Amino acid sequence: MDEILNDIVAGDALALIPLLNDDSIHCCISDIPYGISLDDWDVLHNNTNSALLGQSPAQKGKSGFKRRGKPIRGWSEADRAIPKEYQDWCFAWASLLYPKMKDGASLFIFGARRTLHRAIVALEDSGFLLKDILAWEKPNAHHRAQRISIVMSRRGLDKDSEKWSGWRLGNLAPIWEPIAWFFKPYPHTITDVVLKNEVGAMNVAAVQSDGKNPNNLIKRWFEEDEHRWHEAQKPVSILEFLITLATRKQQIVLDPFIGSGSTAVACQRLNRQFIGFDINPEYVTIAKSRLSSTSLYEKTPQEAQPQQYSMFDKRIVSEAKTT
């Protein structure tokens, strides 16, 4: 594990999580795949329906409808099995993660409103307990609902088009996303686990805003010059909020689906140690470059403590893939 501390590794989390030491992780924070077929990396099922990730004729050429997943109703038994397959995938990595976390340690996962319940059941089945569901409120959200009157008009149904004027197909603008907050159960009292493992309490004073204590509605957004590397990227500021709330300096934060590395950037700024995995080597390269840059995310002189980022031993990756 020492070889991957303060590093980001390219590989499947299911192969890499077993490399971690038991009882070693103080906190896990991850924007896990949502299982909504957003892109190839988010297709976590065996369904090969040809319409997946495609566009309907009415959606072509419109950026808001770049891709589509399966309809909620489902077209076949295979379509209807997608949510359960996503739940099974969540259980697979969560059950591997459970022994690696310290008793009382927090686990935060971002999720989709439509599939988060499957992830919650999977993590509960793996041993974690649900503490709360936080709401991350965004300042704006793109509304992708189609006007049904236009759809009908293209079919030549002018009377029906007029009747349904003002109605849309789809959902309301997604102005918030849920963050499920779990913890690993502890054998005695919460005070005992705080004394032993230094986890389990909340650093409320450090995340106050205008002198007010935080609540479970979090309003954070991208900083002015924060570059978007990944289409599912989360603001560094909200990751800093969660890390500050649940960990102390130099504790280890794991992100097994780290994408373009925002969790590691937040840890670097806050003087926490980190471990990150991602299955896409291109994003790992981006994440490593963000950590070594002297950009917006360079720590202040008061916070800076040089970290050593080791190159991960390819031998370990090879061994992990065979286990």
Residue-level pLDDT, tens digit, the chain, 323 residues: 888 999 999 999 999 999 999 999 999 999 999 877 666 666 667 766 655 655 555 556 665 545 555 556 666 777 788 889 999 999 999 999 999 999 999 999 999 998 999 999 999 999 999 999 999 999 988 777 889 999 999 999 999 999 999 999 888 899 999 999 999 999 989 999 999 999 999 999 999 988 899 999 999 998 888 888 888 889 999 999 999 999 999 999 999 999 999 999 999 999 999 999 999 999 999 999 999 864 444 433 333 333 332 333 333 333 333 43
Terminus-to-terminus CA distance in the chain, angstroms? 16
Q: Do 114 and 36 touch, CB atoms closer than 8 A?
A: yes
Amino acid at 153: S
Structure tokens belonging to residue 101 = 């976390």
Alpha helices in 127-208 (DSSP H): 148-154, 158-163, 190-197
Q: What is the residue range of 229's domain?
A: 2-45+85-140+175-322
Which pLDDT belongs to residue 318? 39
Residue with tokens 């925002």: 262
Residue 101 maps to a domain:
yes
Residue 264 maps to a domain:
yes
Which pLDDT belongs to residue 56? 56
CATH of the domain at 312: 3.40.50.150
Distance, CA of 120 to CA of 125 (rounded, Å) = 8
Residue 161 maps to a domain:
no
Residue with tokens 């892109």: 39
Dihedral angle over CA of 175, 274, 242, 101, nearest 10:
110
Distance, CA of 35 to CA of 38 (rounded, Å) = 8
Residue 146 maps to a domain:
no
Residue 154 maps to a domain:
no
Total domain count, the chain: 1
DSSP conformational letter for 209: B
Residue 75 maps to a domain:
no
Residue 217: phi, psi to the nearest 5?
-110, 110
Which pLDDT belongs to residue 82? 85
Which pLDDT belongs to residue 32? 94
Buried b (16+ CB within 10 A) or exposed e, 216-237: eebebebeeebeebbebbbbbb
Sign of CA dihedral 184, 190, 196, 198: positive
Residue with tokens 């041993």: 127
Which pLDDT belongs to residue 51? 57
Q: Do 53 and 41 touch, CB atoms closer than 8 A?
A: no
Distance, CA of 51 to CA of 129 (rounded, Å) = 37
Could you tell me the pTM of the whole model? 0.82
Residue 205 maps to a domain:
yes
Amino acid at 181: W
Which pLDDT belongs to residue 2? 87
Residue 151 maps to a domain:
no
